[in-house]
Structure 1
Amino acid sequence: MKLKQIYFYKHNLFLDVSGVLFWPLKKIAIVSDLHLEKSSYFAKKGNFLPPYESFETLKKLSNVLKKKNIRQLILLGDVFHDDHGYERLDKSTKDLFNKIILQYETKFILGNHDKNINIPNLKTFKKLKIDNINLIHQLTQNLSIEITGHYHPKVVLIIQGNKISKSCFIVSGKKIILPAFGKFTGGLNVESNVFEEILDSKRDYYLIDSSKIYHLRKNYKTNNLKLNIVSG
């Protein structure tokens, strides 16, 4: 199953295996943490990564979006790895980026990596609110209902002695945390104390496999991440 439907505070939302969240009633797609031009950022510091990740990430996003009936695209922060990432895009990648943001009504929410970025003809926001849901890069610890990014959550499982790490969505109380969409983004294990401090104890994880999303639940009694597949 490439899409997982959830009911979140009176809204039907769909979690896509790509890492994009779709809000069909509003014709909105939400994606976080592309970290474009991360490779060129590190290259300037003498650390070399494969240089084509920005184009590949944008091509993947374009292919996902064109299969859905959406009108608005919300970029949920850390679209670029630094404030000068847009300037470093090569021509073909910049053309693709501009094509995407012009094809949809695009809203760019600032993240911690690109909080001072300036992109021609694209307005930026610190946060947005649609109906009762706040859209912001990094969640707050207040009682507001939020869709966020920032943490790059991953589930780490041991299967037949092999350690497997997979990106995931987290749904916990009034918060949704999106996975990172970018190619070279790393991730934070959902067992990290960081999540214990910022989220409710009851959490659902939606693990992204190559062609499926698995709904996993924490074992609350032991407080260990003994995950059982609820549905796939």
Structure 2
Amino acid sequence: MELFLYSFEFESSQGKTLIFADPHLGFEPFRGINVRSRFERKLAEFVISEDPDLVIILGDIKEDLGLREYTRRVLLEFFRMLRDYRIIITKGNHDGRIEEVTKKFDNVSVVEYYLLDEALFLHGHRSLPNVEFKRAFLGHIHPTAIISLKGVKRKVKCFVKAGNFVILPTINPFFEGMDIREGIKLVPFLKDVRSVDLLIPPSIHIEGYSI
């Protein structure tokens, strides 16, 4: 699974910083999947392979809106594997009661938003916080776009740039995503945007995609 395609890595004042969005761990029973994907382990192994100084997860770390025992077990395994890494979670709409798990791990913080080097990190389901920033990164809407590749129309995951805002696709390879034309309406501070730029991994760049 090429998880690196749907994450973003950069150097910050905190060192090597890895960000990704919407893993929705423990999704299987909530999506009618009877086979364990063990995605939590694969995602943790990916983080370890990147060896960042800081990990920022842009919300919806879990699928369960509450915290069933199955979800708790999945999260505990994930965080145990990453005890050696500093993790910031910007709380998403699926992250109810997440603190009941993260309080067991001193390296994990759950916040509504996070500011780093004039960049704002948040999930994207609520209004903007009253803070100053130069750019912002969010998730929430699992953006996809319909594009034509060699004459065949395909629905593909994409990064979306709308002014100073960058929306990351879900890092979960089992989730396809939502058409950006519909999804962007679910972000309160971007719902009036009419044109965006798309980056489709690994190398397709589309400017002025009308929504």
Normalised by the length of structure 2, the TM-score is 0.76
Q: Distance in 2 between matches of 1:188 and 1:83?
A: 19
Aligned pair count reads 196
* Cα offsets for 1:119-161 (capped at 9, x unmatched): 1324311111112111110164688531100010012123455
Within the candidate set 139, 163, 178, 2:168 is matched to: 178
| Structure 2 residue identity aligned to 1:73 | V
The alignment partner of 1:102 has SS state of coil
Q: Distance in 2 between matches of 1:98 and 1:161?
A: 44
CA RMSD of aligned residues (A): 3.1
The alignment partner of 2:158 has SS state of strand
The alignment partner of 1:191 has SS state of helix
Specify the alignment match of 1:163 in structure 2: 153
Q: Distance in 1 between matches of 2:27 and 2:193?
A: 32
Specify the alignment match of 1:19 in structure 2: 6
Specify the alignment match of 1:227 in structure 2: none
Specify the alignment match of 1:49 in structure 2: 33
Within the candidate set 33, 48, 53, 1:71 is matched to: 53
**Structure-2 change in CA distance of 1:155 and 1:73 (3 Å):** same
Q: Output aligned runs, 1:202-213, within 5 Å.
A: 202-208=195-201, 212-213=202-203
- Aligned 8 A contact 2:67 2:96 in 1: no
Q: Distance in 1 between matches of 2:36 and 2:195?
A: 39
Specify the alignment match of 1:38 in structure 2: 27
Specify the alignment match of 1:133 in structure 2: 119
| Structure 2 residue identity aligned to 1:28 | T
Specify the alignment match of 1:105 in structure 2: 86
Offset of residue 83 of structure 1: 4.2
- Aligned 8 A contact 2:157 2:176 in 1: no
The alignment partner of 1:203 has SS state of strand
* Cα offsets for 1:40-63 (capped at 9, x unmatched): 235xxxxx214323x22x343234
Specify the alignment match of 1:11 in structure 2: none
Offset of residue 94 of structure 1: 5.0
| Structure 2 residue identity aligned to 1:75 | I
Offset of residue 69 of structure 1: 4.3
Offset of residue 86 of structure 1: 6.8
Offset of residue 207 of structure 1: 0.7
Gaps of 5+ in 1: 3-15, 43-47, 225-232
The structure number with the bigger radius of gyration is 1
Specify the alignment match of 1:45 in structure 2: none
Q: Distance in 1 between matches of 2:95 and 2:35?
A: 20
Offset of residue 193 of structure 1: 7.5
Gaps of 5+ in 2: none
* Cα offsets for 1:59-105 (capped at 9, x unmatched): 432343234341111111101012445731486x5564023431210
**Structure-2 change in CA distance of 1:36 and 1:82 (3 Å):** same
- Aligned 8 A contact 1:173 1:200 in 2: no
Normalised by the length of structure 1, the TM-score is 0.70
- Aligned 8 A contact 2:146 2:153 in 1: yes
| Structure 2 residue identity aligned to 1:97 | F
- Aligned 8 A contact 1:147 1:178 in 2: yes
Q: Distance in 2 between matches of 1:169 and 1:206?
A: 5
The alignment partner of 1:24 has SS state of strand
**Structure-2 change in CA distance of 1:28 and 1:159 (3 Å):** closer
